[in-house]
Amino acid sequence: MNGIIFDIKEMAVHDGPGIRTTVFFKGCPLRCQWCHNPEGLSFKPQLMYKSKNCLGCDKCKQHCDHPECQPFKRCVHICPENCLSIAGRTVTAKDLAKEIIPSADVLGKDFGGFTFSGGEPLAQSEFLLELTDELKNFHLCMETSGYCDSEIFNKVIEKLDFVIMDIKLADNDLHKKYTGVGNEKILRNFEDLKQSGKPFVIRTPLISGITDTKDNLSKIQNIVGDSAWEKLPENNAAGAKYKMLRVE
Partner 1 sequence: MNKNLYNFIVNKEHHIYRRSVDWNLGKEYSEKGLSPMERMADRFERMMNEEKPVILPDEKIVFLRTVSNLPDCFSEQEWEELREKYYIHELGYISNFSPNYYDTISVGLLAKREEAGEYGKRAIDNILKLSDRYLEEAKKQGREDLVEILTQVPRHPARNFREALQFFRIIHFALWIEGNYHNTLGRFDKYIYPYLKADMEKGVYTRETALELLEDFFLSFNKDSDIYVGVQQGDNGQSMMLGGLDENGEYIFNLLTELCMEASCNNKLIDPKINLRVNKDTPKEIYIKATHLTKAGLGFPQYSNDDIVIPALEKLGYEHNDAVNYAVAACWEFIIPNVGADVDNIGAMSYPKAIDTVLHDGFMECETYEEFFAKVKAEINNECDRICAGIKNLWFVPSPFMNVLMGCNIAEGSKYNNFGIHGTGIATGADSLAVIKKYVFEEKTISKQKLLEAVDSNFEKHSELLPLLRYEAPKLGNNDDYVDSIATDLLDSFADCLKGRVNCRGGIYRAGTGSAMFYLWHADEIGASPDGRRAKEPFGTNYSVSLFAKVKGPVSVIASMTKQHFENAINGGPLTLEFHQSVFADEDGVGKVAALVKRYIELGGHQLQLNTVNTERLLDAQKHPENYRQLVVRIWGWSAYFVELDKEYQDHVIARQAYKV
- Residues that bind partner 1 in the complex, under the rule CB under 8 A: 8-14, 18-19, 21, 59, 77-80, 82, 102-103, 106-108, 110
Q: Quick one: 9 or 159, whose CB is closer to partner 1?
A: 9
Euclidean distance between CA atoms 60 and 75, whole angstroms: 5
Q: Quick one: 12 or 87, whose CB is closer to partner 1?
A: 12
Q: Are 84 and 107 in contact (CB under 8 A)?
A: no
Q: Quick one: 4 or 79, whose CB is closer to partner 1?
A: 79
Instruction: Count CB neighbours of 103 within 10 A.
Output: 17
Q: Quick one: 18 or 180, whose CB is closer to partner 1?
A: 18
Q: Quick one: 77 or 176, whose CB is closer to partner 1?
A: 77
User: CB 21 → partner 1: shortest distance, Å?
Assistant: 8
Q: Are 2 and 127 in contact (CB under 8 A)?
A: yes
User: CB 75 → partner 1: shortest distance, Å?
Assistant: 9
Query: How much is the CA Rg of the chain, to the nearest whole Å?
Result: 19
User: CB 90 → partner 1: shortest distance, Å?
Assistant: 18
Q: Are 37 and 28 in contact (CB under 8 A)?
A: no
User: CB 164 → partner 1: shortest distance, Å?
Assistant: 14
- Three-point CA angle 160, 39, 157, nearest 5°: 10
User: CB 59 → partner 1: shortest distance, Å?
Assistant: 8
- Calculate the CA dihedral of residues 216, 200, 226, 172 and round it to 10 degrees: 30
**φ and ψ at 199, to 5 degrees?**
-65, 140
HSE toward the beta carbon, residue 233, CA cutoff 13 A: 2
Q: Is 222 exposed, middle or buried (0-12, 13-18, 19+ CB in 10 A)?
A: exposed
User: CB 151 → partner 1: shortest distance, Å?
Assistant: 34
Q: Quick one: 163 or 186, whose CB is closer to partner 1?
A: 163
